[in-house]
Amino acid sequence: MRFVDEFRDADKAHALAAKIAALCAPGRQYKLMEVCGGHTHTIYKHGLEDYLPESITLVHGPGCPVCVIPMGRVDDAIHLASQPDVIMTSFGDMMRVPGSQGSFFDAKAAGTDIRMVYSPLDSLKIARQNPDQRVVFMAIGFETTTPSTAMTVLRAAAEGLGNFSVFCNHVTIIPAIKAILDSPDLRLDGFIGPGHVSTVIGCRPYEFIAREYGKPVVVAGFEPLDILQSIYMLMVQLSEGRTEVENQYTRVVPWDGNLAALNAINQVMELRPYFEWRGLGFISHSAMRMRPDYASFDAELLFQVPGVRVADPKACQCGEVLKGVLKPWECKVFGTACTPETPIGTCMVSPEGACAAYYNYGRMNRHRVVEVSIS
């Protein structure tokens, strides 16, 4: 515990909180977005908003990779998994995400061969062991998992493995942040930048936020003091009228990211013209697909994919939550029809989702929620 205590010292937290409060201009309201779901988790687990003056509001961003998968892609994946001789492999996080006809778990219970794996490399092994079947890996995630998929495809290509492919749903965080900045719904003052995504992409990709939108960004670690320190760094910038990208998480995040990982992604994948995000709609150049050189590993080319669009359930307001327009508890079905056990919306599925974080730690001043039916 000696190690951990240095990130959780209550005296240090109160001292930081006092310094943050001293930087608030009288009468001004500040809205700071934490992009990453891991940060949302820390904020609610440790009640960090209680340390902050009322003039600072933390707004939760879209950085939960499971939360942004639209229902249509879940349906497409289940369609792929139902094809003859197909074994679909997926991270466990994806299993409970609802499609319009149910989740992976539901499909698996109905006899579809969907297997949970820890790593895409496990899918490769399943492909080697089942040469008469076609293994499709359900690839999801931001830049933290994209390099792993790319490295796995490179490995499959080197081995000449013909029965392995990827249903690619990898998304990129920068266009999502840009979509939020361009949204008229929300005025933000600064960003707490994602920690682990930045180990791959580094800090430079955020520079446009400071340069073109005039908002400061501080890449942050996941400990309570990391986040308070990052808020302090943002407030210093705002009080001095500076807008820059700063790195609070230098003990893990290199300024230039992981070049080997970026090269692997770039070798295997390219940006799609557009991709649908749950709740956010279509965003240009916001997701990856296989390059033509690796077409033989692209499940979307090897199989007929219906490509259906499914509207989110009417009662579900994940889109507003993902954009930070609504607090989770302001959603009509939060905690009543939508719970971690029976999620309607993706934000309630993943522990990194803002709704699940709120629900699990009960940190809300919510009004009495009226039970609303799903339809």
Based on CB atoms, which residue is closest to another protein, 165 or 199? 199
Q: Does 205 bind another protein (CB under 8 A)?
A: no
Stretch that binds another protein, among 25-33, 38-46, 201-209, 305-313 (CB under 8 A): 38-46
User: Under a CB-based contact definition with an 8 Å cutoff, are residues 176 and 68 in contact?
Assistant: yes
Q: Which residue has 């931001």 as its token pair?
A: 142
Give min distance, CB of 97 to another protein, in A: 12
Q: Does 177 bind another protein (CB under 8 A)?
A: no
Count of CB atoms situated within 10 Å of the CB of 251:
8
Question: Which backbone phi and psi does 89 adopt, to 5 degrees?
Answer: -115, 145
Among 16, 24, 32, 66, binds another protein (CB under 8 A): 66
Among 30, 91, 104, 329, binds another protein (CB under 8 A): 91
Q: Does 179 bind another protein (CB under 8 A)?
A: no
Q: What residues have CB less than 8 Å from 352, skipping those under 6 apart?
A: 36, 37, 38, 40, 41, 63, 64, 65, 66, 67
Give min distance, CB of 360 to another protein, in A: 8
By CB under 8 A, the count of residues binding another protein is 53
Based on CB atoms, which residue is closest to another protein, 100 or 130? 130
Could you tell me which residues are beta bridge partners of residue 20?
A: none
Q: CA angle, corner 65, sides to 115 and 232, nearest 5?
A: 145
Give min distance, CB of 185 to another protein, in A: 25
Based on CB atoms, which residue is closest to another protein, 24 or 227? 227
Query: SS3 of 260, please?
Result: helix
Phi-psi region of 177 (alpha: psi -120 to 50; beta: other; left: phi over 0): alpha
Based on CB atoms, which residue is closest to another protein, 258 or 296? 258
Give min distance, CB of 36 to another protein, in A: 8
Interface map 306-345 toward another protein (x if CB under 8 A): ----------------------------------------
Rounded CA-CA distance 334/319 in Å is 13
Give min distance, CB of 309 to another protein, in A: 25
Stretch that binds another protein, among 22-30, 161-169, 175-183, 220-228 (CB under 8 A): 220-228
Question: Which backbone phi and psi does 340 adopt, to 5 degrees?
Answer: -60, -30
Among 41, 60, 278, 327, binds another protein (CB under 8 A): 41
Rounded CA-CA distance 227/28 in Å is 21
Question: Which backbone phi and psi does 165 adopt, to 5 degrees?
Answer: -145, 170
- Helix (DSSP H) and strand (DSSP E) numbers for the chain: 15, 13
Q: CA angle, corner 56, sides to 199 and 211, nearest 5?
A: 50
- DSSP letter for 6, please: T
Based on CB atoms, which residue is closest to another protein, 176 or 253? 253
Indicate the residue type of 246: E
Count of CB atoms situated within 10 Å of the CB of 242:
11
Q: Does 117 bind another protein (CB under 8 A)?
A: yes
Stretch that binds another protein, among 34-42, 203-211, 231-239, 288-296 (CB under 8 A): 34-42
Among 124, 166, 227, 287, binds another protein (CB under 8 A): 124
Q: Does 57 bind another protein (CB under 8 A)?
A: no
Rounded CA-CA distance 245/237 in Å is 10
Stretch that binds another protein, among 27-35, 54-62, 100-108, 195-203 (CB under 8 A): 195-203
Rounded CA-CA distance 126/117 in Å is 10
Rule CB under 8 A: which of 129-148 touch another protein? 140-142, 144-145, 147-148
Q: Does 201 bind another protein (CB under 8 A)?
A: no
Biggest alpha carbon–alpha carbon distance for the chain: 69
The closest alpha carbon to 189, from 357, 24, 68, belongs to 24
Q: Does 196 bind another protein (CB under 8 A)?
A: yes
For another protein, the binding residues (CB under 8 A) are 3-4, 6-7, 37-38, 41-42, 45, 63-66, 91-93, 116-122, 124-125, 140-142, 144-145, 147-148, 151, 196-197, 199-200, 221-223, 251-254, 258-261, 264, 350-352, 360
